[in-house]
Amino acid sequence: MSVEIDTRPIWIILALKSLRPLFFLLLAVLFWYFINMPSPAGLTPAGQNAIAVFLLCLVLWVSNAVPLAITSIFAIVLVPLLGILTKKETYALFGNEAVFFILGAFILAGAVMHSGLSNRIALNIIGKFGGSPRRLLLSVFLLAAVLSFFMSEHAVAAMLFPMLLELSKSLKLRPGRSNYGKFLFLALAWGCVIGGVATFLGGARVPLAMGILKETTGATIGFLEYTVAVLPLVVILLAVGFALLMILYPIDVAGVENAGEVVEKRLKGLGKMSFGEYSVGIILLLTIIGWISMGRTLGLAAVALSSVVVLFVLGIVRWKDIEEYVNWGIILMYGGAIILGSALDKSGAAAWIINGVIGRWSGSPWTVFAIVSLLTIFLTEAMSHAAVIAVLLPVVIGISGKMSVDPSIMTYSVATPAGLAFILPMSTPANALAVSSNYITVRDMAKGGLIMVIVSWVLFNLMAAFYWPLIGIGRLR
């Protein structure tokens, strides 16, 4: 049992606790008011209800007053109950391809971690390339990033974290004081964050964005297409990130021989590469090839789930091995977010918002793209990445329709920046883990993180303006 005792004066705790029921009561009253007030001109009653549900979910997602998945379940209940969509339509949306792609990705990542393959890859890379203090840092940074191309950044951070703690102890780094310790854990966090936006696999947010795009417009973005569009940004950010860390935290250790011993000891403990590791590695490789070559025709989910079936048919993993790696909360959250996006679209609420509110201030598509990406990149520091997508994307896709801009491009403006959270520990588990090491403080993270956020936003917009037209992604004017 690990407990934390709130030592604030009891009256403060009591006051704060009583805020919660008051908050829900106020929310219920406001919600009731919204759905019962006369409909504004041009908005259908169903659209009005959809906006009310959207606002309710927005508040709950932002405040985190209940778990994100529960907010989504609430949306799933309210949408048919208020007559926005029929029950059949609502629940059918939960069967969206993105939801099943995420399920497949969780199972594949679980298989990789359970087999020990990911751990072996990490140890080998650190062991081979981490010979000097600088090379060790670079290895950790790139390893976190590259692994996040193929599996959830959260899983990568959780996998590497204990190893880095052990390395830090073996190097006798002083928590909170050692520059090398700060560098090491920021390299982990930033590596995961930057690498996590490179493909569909780094986090479930990109598939969610694709799911919303497909549901509302029918358009899709392929696995390879997305990666080609985003990879240069990832490469530049990795270079900038490493350089920035070198400036902020100059290396203050002479050698890393002790770390090598730790890695060697762990590798010895792993023994020979097992049949399971080989099998999972081959299946993962084939899956990635499948996503690249057949993603558009078969669908990403079909490829992922086929691989999952193969894993079980060949007896490489058992369900109980995998169960703990499947984050059902995220899957429920995504289902609800897709339903909400569709409800806003099909009820005409999204169009009404765009025509009546956002349409007035939108200037050129470029301005909208820049503002949306800026809004996303800052919102994602305080909100769940997926919640940012669920809140912003339906509206942004609507705007793109009004401005005659390819909605796929506008999807990028939310999907990619939504993963670039560098400033706060609560923004993503990779950052939270890094701060929990005690080697870095929230202030350390925020100091470099703010620079990275600004650099990321500028680079992302420059890339959209100059690189995307070169690879055939629609031009923004």
Query: Which residues form the interface with another protein (CB under 8 A)?
Result: 1-7, 10, 13-14, 17, 64, 67-69, 152, 154, 157-158, 161, 203-205, 327, 329-330, 333, 384-386, 428-429, 432-433, 436
DSSP 3-state assignment of 476? coil
CB of 162 or CB of 356, closer to another protein:
162
Distance from C-alpha of 371 to C-alpha of 456, rounded to nearest angstrom: 14
Q: How far is the CB of 7 from another protein (least distance, A)?
A: 5
CB of 63 or CB of 367, closer to another protein:
63
Q: How far is the CB of 128 from another protein (least distance, A)?
A: 26
Q: How far is the CB of 333 from another protein (least distance, A)?
A: 7
Distance from C-alpha of 133 to C-alpha of 254, rounded to nearest angstrom: 7
- Residue from 116, 124, 450, 161 nearest 316 by CA: 116
Distance from C-alpha of 165 to C-alpha of 188, rounded to nearest angstrom: 11
Q: How far is the CB of 290 from another protein (least distance, A)?
A: 24
Crossing angle of helices 429-436/442-462, nearest 10°? 150
Name every residue whose Cβ is closer than 8 Å to that of residue 237 and which is 6 or more positions away in sequence: 194, 420, 452, 455, 456, 459
DSSP 3-state assignment of 315? coil
Distance from C-alpha of 227 to C-alpha of 234, rounded to nearest angstrom: 10
Distance from C-alpha of 148 to C-alpha of 158, rounded to nearest angstrom: 12
Q: How far is the CB of 370 from another protein (least distance, A)?
A: 25
CB of 161 or CB of 200, closer to another protein:
161
CA distances from 470 to 58, 229, 292, 463, 465 (A): 37, 10, 20, 10, 10
Q: How far is the CB of 206 from another protein (least distance, A)?
A: 11
Helices (H), ranges, 151-204: 153-170, 179-196
CB of 372 or CB of 388, closer to another protein:
388
CB of 136 or CB of 330, closer to another protein:
330
The HSE-up count of residue 324 (CA atoms within 13 Å, CB side) is: 5
CB of 189 or CB of 354, closer to another protein:
189
CB of 14 or CB of 243, closer to another protein:
14
Q: How far is the CB of 440 from another protein (least distance, A)?
A: 13
Q: Quickly count: other Cβ atoms within 10 Å of residue 460's Cβ.
A: 26
Q: How far is the CB of 355 from another protein (least distance, A)?
A: 32
- Residue from 329, 339, 353 nearest 68 by CA: 329
CB of 1 or CB of 313, closer to another protein:
1
470 by Cβ neighbours in 10 Å (0-12 / 13-18 / 19+) ranks as exposed
Q: How far is the CB of 328 from another protein (least distance, A)?
A: 8
CB of 127 or CB of 394, closer to another protein:
394
CA distances from 369 to 143, 238, 366, 385 (A): 32, 23, 5, 18
CB of 204 or CB of 350, closer to another protein:
204
Q: How far is the CB of 166 from another protein (least distance, A)?
A: 15
